[in-house]
Amino acid sequence: VFARISFVRVKYLFLTWLTVLVGSWVLYVQYSTYTELCRGHECRNAICDKYRKGIIDGSACSSLCDKETLYMGRCLSTLPNNQVEDGDAVWGDHDGIIRCKLGEVAHYELGEEPEPRREAPVFDKPTRGTSVEKFREMVFNHLKSKLGEQANLASLVSQILSVADGNRDGRVSLPEARSTWALLQMDEVLLGLLLQDRGHTPRLLGYCGDLYMTERIPYGPLYGLSLPWPLASWVPSGVQRTVDQWFTPSWPRKAKISMGLLELVEDVFHGTYGSFLICDVAAARFGYTDRHELRLTDTRAVVPEDEFRRAMRALRCETDADCVYGTDCRTSCDPSERRCREEPVQPNLAKACGALKDYLLRGAPAAMREELERQLYACMALKGNAGQMNMEHSLILNNLKALLWRQISHTKDS
């Protein structure tokens, strides 16, 4: 008996030691990765160096570099050339997220000479002597290349030049123009500006060079938990989907958030500046505010339809599986040409309804659950380019919004 007790004790001591060892190793690896790749101080130093030399300027430069009232906080991303920081800014009541791009970190094998760090692009456009009108033309042509021929491009250019005037002195200086031009090269910034007027994306609070700050969205992802990578690989997807729906607001609040996603789909479908495709409707791409208003927190999921079509035309294929853009924007393969067709297989609305199905049906009022389920499945069944079926697309969208609104219009959540 004593021998058995001793064996059990030794076994538990061994398992405890092993657990502590593995846990310590994981913490060490995570800490090492964080300290090596989270380079917020490098980002600030590089930006402020160019600001002090008069190369760049912007609405956040003085607070970041002179007054030091814009702070880099906790690192949210350890991607070496895409630093995402928590930024605590003493700008009234604003508190937000700072994003900064740096040059790539050099990779080398043991025993080899390390390569020099690749520097971030210099802020060399527009050049000295460029007039405001010439800069306006540069911005117009850039937007046209991204969005195609749109009737409202001139008003969008004026909006961007207004943002470019960081110190609000009524004119755009050369350093401010260089910062603005650098920001416009990042699709996520341009798309954020396009959608923020309709309240779909976090507002741009300030910028300096290609560092920029947006408002913080307090709740995200849209639903579910972000499990650590060791657990995520072990949890079956079916269990994960079920658990995701446990951590959500009350149903009326979920309905209000869902209406925000449907309105986003409506606004990017033949919107003010053309049509856009949402190529990833995963919950991680969205968050919501204290008032339960949906925000698209990662605009990299959105692509102009013209750009999508150009990309698909250039893509060679053997099967339909080869014709994918982003995560879930798909077309079919033309076997005779061995090229991808341009028309998306599934419109934004069908993908949005697929993302909302479990979210809305869990906890839905019994009196409308059957009708809600029927409408969601009809929505998910939409096929082909929504531009070819405007009536059906609009009818399903309006019916779904009306059904949700009837349920929450009399509640405080509306």
pLDDT of residue 88: 47
CA atoms of 359 and 312, how far apart (whole Å) = 32
Greatest CA separation for the chain: 92
Residues sharing a CB contact under 8 Å with residue 193, sequence separation 6 or more, in sequence order: 159, 160, 163, 204
Write the DSSP string, 44-56: HHHHHHHHHTTS-
* H or E stretch covering 144: helix 132-147
| Positive/negative CA dihedral, 94, 96, 98, 99 | negative
Helix axis angle for 132-147 and 153-164, nearest 10°, is 130
Spatial neighbors of 128 by CB under 8 A, at least 6 apart, are 174
d(CA 183, CA 190): 8
Q: Which residues pair with 215 in a beta bridge?
A: 96
Q: Which amino acid is at 354?
A: G
What is the rounded distance in angstroms from the CA atom of residue 245 to the CA atom of residue 207? 37
Query: What pLDDT score was predicted for residue 321?
Result: 94
**Domains assigned to the chain:** 39-103+121-215 (no CATH), 237-315+345-410 (1.10.510)
SS3 state at 225:
coil
Q: Please name the residue ranges forming H helices in 269-327.
A: 305-313
Say if residue 126 is preceded by a cis peptide, omega within 30 of 0: yes
The pLDDT profile of the chain, 414 residues, written as one tens digit per residue, is 445 556 566 667 777 777 776 666 555 444 444 444 465 677 888 899 999 999 999 999 998 898 878 877 666 655 554 555 544 444 556 778 888 876 544 333 333 443 444 445 568 889 999 999 999 999 999 999 998 888 889 999 999 999 999 888 889 999 999 999 999 999 889 999 888 888 899 999 999 999 999 988 988 888 776 655 555 555 566 666 666 667 688 999 999 999 999 999 999 887 788 889 999 998 889 999 999 999 999 898 899 998 999 999 999 999 999 999 988 899 999 999 999 999 999 999 999 999 999 999 999 999 999 999 999 999 999 987 555 557 788 899 999 999 999 998 877 655
Cβ–Cβ < 8 Å for 312, 331: yes
**How far is Cα 242 from Cα 406, in angstroms, rounded to an integer?**
27
Strand partners, 333: 340
Residue 315, exposed/middle/buried by CB under 10 A (0-12, 13-18, 19+)? middle
Whether residue 333 contacts residue 323, with contact meaning beta carbons closer than 8 Å, is answered with yes
Q: Are strands 302-304 and 276-278 parallel, antiparallel or unpaired?
A: antiparallel
Omega cis (within 30) before 221:
yes
Classify 17 as helix, strand or coil.
helix
pLDDT of residue 411: 72
Alpha carbon 229 to chain centroid distance? Answer: 20
**Residue whose tokens read 């209406």:** 259
Residue 233's pLDDT is 57
Q: Which residues pair with 294 in a beta bridge?
A: 288
Determine the Cα–Cα distance for residues 218 and 294; give it in Å rounded to an integer.
11
- Residue closest to 279 by CA, chosen among 360, 187, 363: 187
Q: What residues does 88 pair with on adjacent strands?
A: 71
- Structure tokens that stand for 166 in this block: 């960081």
Closest by CA to 104, choosing from 78, 77, 80, is 80
Handedness of CA 166, 208, 190, 307 (dihedral sign): positive
CA 149 from centre of chain: 25
Structure tokens that stand for 44 in this block: 């600030």
Q: What pLDDT sits at residue 2?
A: 47
- The structure tokens 């090596």 sit at 36
Q: How far apart are CA 200 and CA 216, in angstroms?
A: 13
